[in-house]
Amino acid sequence: MRKSLLFFTAALLTATAFSQPTQKPPLHGKKWMAITGKPLAATAGSMIFQQGGNAVDAACAMLAATCTMWDVLSWGGETQALIYNPKTGKVIGINALGVAPTGATAAFFKGKGYNFPPEYGPLAAVTPGTVGGICHMLAQYGTMSLQQVLAPAMQLAAGYPIEAQTANSIERGKDRIKQWPYSKKVFLTHPGEKREAPEAGEIFVQKDLLNTLTKLVEAEQAALKSKKTRRQAIQAAYDRFYKGDIADEFVRGSTEQGGLITRADLANWKVKEEEPMKINYKGVDVYKLSQWTQGPVLLQSLNILENFDLKNMGYNSPQYINTVYQSMSLAFADRDFYYGDPAYAPTKQPMKGLLSKEYAKQRAKEINPEKNVADIGPGDPYPFEGGVNPYTELLKKRKPEEDSTGKRNFVPAHDSTATAMLEKELYMDRLWRGTTSVEAADAEGWVVSITPSGGWLPACIAGNTGVGMSQRMQSFVLDASLNPFNVVEPGKRPRVTLTPSMALKEGKPYLSFAVQGGDTQDQNLIQFFLNMHEFGMTVQQACEAANINTNQLWLSLGGTKISDRKPRPGNILLSTKTPEPAREALKKMGYKLSFGDRTSGPINAIFLDRKHGSIWGGSSNNGEDYGIGW
168 and 229 belong to one structural domain:
yes
Q: For the whole prediction, is pTM greater than 0.75? A: yes
CA–CA distance, 455 with 438 (Å, rounded to integer): 17
**Whether 264 and 284 share a structural domain:** no
CB count in 10 Å sphere of residue 464: 18
Q: Is residue 606 part of a domain?
A: yes
Look at residue 415 and tell me whether its pLDDT is greater than 50: no
Whether residues 241 and 109 fall in one domain: yes
> Does residue 456 share a domain with residue 583?
no
9-13, 300-304, 488-492, range with the lowest pLDDT: 9-13
Q: Do residues 173 and 307 share a domain?
A: no
Are residue 557 and residue 593 in the same domain, yes or no? yes
* Residues 6+ away with beta carbon under 8 Å from 224: 145, 230, 233
Is residue 154 domain-shared with residue 285, that is, in the same domain? no
* Secondary structure of residue 154 in the 3-state scheme: helix
Phi/psi at 258 (5° precision): 100, 10
Look at strands 549-550 and 447-450 and give their pairing: unpaired
Are residues 338 and 247 both part of a single domain?
no
Helix intervals (H) in 20-70: 39-50, 55-68
Ordered DSSP codes for 596-617 = ES--S--EEEEEEETTTTEEEE
Instruction: Confirm whether 206 is domain-assigned.
Output: yes
- CATH number of the domain encompassing residue 587: 1.10.246.130
3-class DSSP state of 38: coil
Rounded Cα distance, 308 and 303, in Å: 10
Of 377 and 426, the one with more pLDDT: 377
Instruction: Decide if pLDDT at 17 tops 80.
Output: no
Q: Are residues 259 and 290 in the same domain?
A: no
Q: Do 265 and 300 fall into the same domain?
A: no
Predicted confidence band of residue 389 (pLDDT cuts 50, 70, 90):
very high
Phi (first) and psi of residue 619, to 5 degrees: -140, 125
**Containing structural domain, residue 71:** 38-273+452-472
Vertex 354, ends 348 and 360: CA angle to 5°?
160
pLDDT band, very low/low/confident/very high, at 417 (cuts 50, 70, 90):
very low
Q: Under a CB-based contact definition with an 8 Å cutoff, are residues 602 and 622 in contact?
A: yes
Number of H helices, E strands in the chain: 24, 19
**pLDDT of 115 above 60:** yes
**Is the pLDDT score of 431 beyond 80?**
no
Task: Answer yes or no: is 548 within a domain.
Answer: yes
Confidence of residue 623 (pLDDT cuts 50, 70, 90): confident
Torsion on CA atoms 107, 121, 484, 328, rounded to nearest 10: 160
Q: Is the pLDDT of residue 626 over 60?
A: yes
Predicted confidence band of residue 622 (pLDDT cuts 50, 70, 90): confident
Mind giving me the DSSP string for 325-368?
Answer: HHHHHHHHHHHHHH-S-GGG-SS---HHHHT-HHHHHHHHTT--
CA–CA dist 262, 243 (Å, integer): 11
Give the bridge partners for 609, in sequence order.
Answer: 614
Would you place residue 19 in the very low, low, confident or very high pLDDT band (cuts 50, 70, 90)?
Answer: low
Give how many domains the chain has, as a whole number.
Answer: 2
pLDDT of 440 reads: 98
Is residue 535 predicted with pLDDT exceeding 70? Answer: yes
Average pLDDT over residues 293-316: 97
Residue 15 lies in a domain: yes
Q: What is the Cα–Cα distance from 198 to 448, expressed in whole angstroms?
A: 33
Whether residue 404 lies inside any domain: the answer is no
Q: Are residues 136 and 251 in the same domain?
A: yes
As to burial, measured by CB atoms within 10 angstroms (0-12 exposed, 13-18 middle, 19+ buried), residue 57 is: buried
Rounded distance, CA 331 to CA 303, Å?
10
DSSP-assigned beta bridge partners for residue 36: 626
Q: Is the domain of 185 the same as that of 253?
A: yes
Exposure class string for 467-498: b at 16+ Cβ within 10 A, else e: bbbbbbbbbbbbeeebbbbbbbebbbbbbbbb
**Three-state SS at 314:** coil
| 418 inside domain | no
**Residue 597 and residue 15 in contact, taking contact as beta carbons nearer than 8 Å:** no
Q: Render pLDDT for 146-200 as a digit per residue (tens, 0 to 9).
A: 999 999 999 999 999 999 989 999 999 999 999 999 999 999 999 999 999 999 9
Residues 6+ apart with CB under 8 A from 156: 40, 44, 65, 68, 69
| CA quadruple 527, 531, 532, 537: dihedral sign | negative
How confident is residue 421, by pLDDT bands cut at 50, 70 and 90?
A: very low
Q: What is the pLDDT of residue 413?
A: 47
Give the integer Cα–Cα distance in Å for 100 and 462: 16
Structure confidence at residue 563 as a pLDDT band (50, 70, 90): confident
**At a CB cut-off of 8 Å and minimum separation 6, what does 422 contact?**
none
